[in-house]
């Protein structure tokens, strides 16, 4: 992956100042140049720096503070809440994330990340080109960003010692949070999105939660299959249309055939579904229903026979 050379004059302090100016809404660059208390080149470099960290967005000539940028503008450097915003930004800035991932193993052993370490990584690992001054200043900005993200304490070089970050005890955990991300969401050399990366859409919950909604209709609350034959039916109706000219014996045979067919269907349902016999109470109710049905059919048959004889007269 190729990377654009980072701007040399950016800083966390200037970035927070721009985010504060843009709290009320987006502004054209020219208005920001007038509002900011820093020079035009510093504003330009800071806008570029802020977009790559996801604090600012540049759209159609207007600069806007993102939700991350607005939230960060209420804090000062060193605040733990600001550190969280910076960590999120580092995870989305491809160049910074790659440099940190490259330097982290050595830093955990030595306890420091120096300006020279960053400069070397810019050139040899990231393939950046530029003057010693340009890349050196960009390396300082990188170290200051690590400081703001809680990775360590930035110390200005003096008396023969280099500018550096002395890493904290929590350095390894922070590096894991920054580097263990989906690189497809990184901003890289593109302008940052106006909003922080959204959480992935949750898929359907397949965990063992409310199992009642996952049971089949033939399962009870314990997950056991309930015999289908235990489903009760309140009543049934057999409709016969007779003209009155039928022989009584034929009508009687027809009714008996219906009765036999009904009993056969019940027997087949018990056999096919493997259902068990209902308990004694259900048996009694079934017998009463059967007796009632038989009485109704017998009454109908007697009435129809009488009607047949009456019609014959």
Give 252's pLDDT tier (boundaries 50, 70, 90): confident
Q: Cβ(164)–Cβ(114) under 8 Å?
A: yes
Give 1's pLDDT tier (boundaries 50, 70, 90): confident
Q: In the predicted model, is pLDDT for residue 148 greater than 70?
A: yes
Beta strands (DSSP E) in the chain are 27-28, 56-59, 62-65, 112-114, 152-155, 164-167
The whole-number pLDDT of residue 298 equals: 55
State whether 178 and 78 are in the same domain: yes
State whether 241 and 114 are in the same domain: no
Angle at 157 between CA 152 and CA 163, to 5 degrees: 45
How high is the mean pLDDT of the chain? 75
Which of 68, 77, 98 shows the shortest CA–CA distance to 175? 98
State whether 18 and 159 are in the same domain: yes
The whole-number pLDDT of residue 70 equals: 96
Rounded to a whole number of angstroms, the CA Rg of the chain reads 42
**Winning range, highest mean pLDDT, from 127-136, 165-174, 267-276:** 165-174
| Domain-located, residue 131 | yes
- pLDDT tens, residue by residue, 180-222: 876 444 444 444 333 333 333 333 343 444 444 444 444 444 4
State whether 93 and 161 are in the same domain: yes
State whether 261 and 174 are in the same domain: no
| Domain-located, residue 276 | yes
The whole-number pLDDT of residue 111 equals: 97
State whether 281 and 134 are in the same domain: no
Q: Cβ(107)–Cβ(113) under 8 Å?
A: yes
Give 301's pLDDT tier (boundaries 50, 70, 90): low
Structural domain for 276, as ranges = 231-312
| Domain-located, residue 47 | yes
The DSSP letter of residue 292 is H
Which of 211, 10, 208 shows the shortest CA–CA distance to 93? 10
The whole-number pLDDT of residue 37 equals: 87
- pLDDT tens, residue by residue, 59-101: 888 999 999 999 999 998 778 889 999 999 999 999 999 999 9
Which residues are 58's β-sheet partners? 63
State whether 250 and 168 are in the same domain: no
Q: In the chain, how many domains are there?
A: 2
State whether 65 and 134 are in the same domain: yes
The whole-number pLDDT of residue 93 equals: 96
Angle at 51 between CA 46 and CA 56, to 5 degrees: 90
Looking at 161, 185, 209, which one is the last position of a domain? 185
State whether 29 and 99 are in the same domain: yes
| Domain-located, residue 213 | no
Q: In the predicted model, is pLDDT for residue 226 greater than 80?
A: no
| Domain-located, residue 226 | no
State whether 173 and 264 are in the same domain: no
State whether 236 and 142 are in the same domain: no
């Amino acid at each position: 992956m190729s990377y654009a050379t980072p701007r040399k004059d950016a800083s966390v302090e200037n970035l927070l100042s721009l985010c504060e100016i843009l709290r009320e809404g987006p502004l054209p660059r020219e208005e920001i140049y007038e509002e900011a208390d820093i020079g035009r080149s510093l504003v330009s470099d800071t806008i570029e720096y802020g977009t790559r960290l996801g604090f600012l967005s540049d759209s159609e000539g207007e600069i806007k503070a993102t939700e991350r940028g607005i939230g960060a503008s209420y804090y000062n450097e060193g605040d733990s809440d600001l550190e969280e915003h910076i960590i999120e930004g580092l995870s989305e800035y491809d160049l910074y994330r790659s440099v940190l991932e490259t330097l982290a193993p050595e830093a955990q052993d030595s306890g420091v990340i120096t300006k020279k370490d960053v400069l070397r990584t810019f050139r040899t690992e990231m393939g950046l080109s530029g003057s010693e001054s340009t890349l050196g200043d960009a390396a300082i900005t990188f170290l200051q960003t690590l400081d703001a993200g809680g990775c360590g304490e930035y110390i200005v070089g003096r008396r023969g010692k280099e500018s550096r970050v002395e890493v904290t005890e929590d350095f390894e955990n922070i590096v894991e949070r920054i580097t263990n991300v989906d690189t497809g969401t990184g901003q890289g050399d593109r302008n940052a999105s106006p909003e922080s990366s959204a959480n992935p859409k949750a898929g359907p919950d397949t965990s063992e939660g409310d199992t009642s909604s996952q049971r089949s209709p033939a399962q009870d609350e314990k997950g056991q299959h309930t015999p289908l034959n235990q489903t009760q039916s309140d009543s049934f109706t057999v409709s016969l249309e007779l003209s009155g000219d039928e022989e009584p014996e034929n009508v009687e045979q027809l009714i008996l055939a219906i009765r036999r067919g009904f009993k056969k269907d019940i027997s087949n349902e018990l056999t096919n579904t493997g259902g068990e016999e209902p308990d004694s109470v259900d048996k009694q109710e079934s017998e009463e229903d059967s007796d009632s049905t038989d009485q109704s059919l017998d009454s109908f048959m007697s009435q129809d026979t009488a009607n047949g004889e009456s019609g014959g007269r």
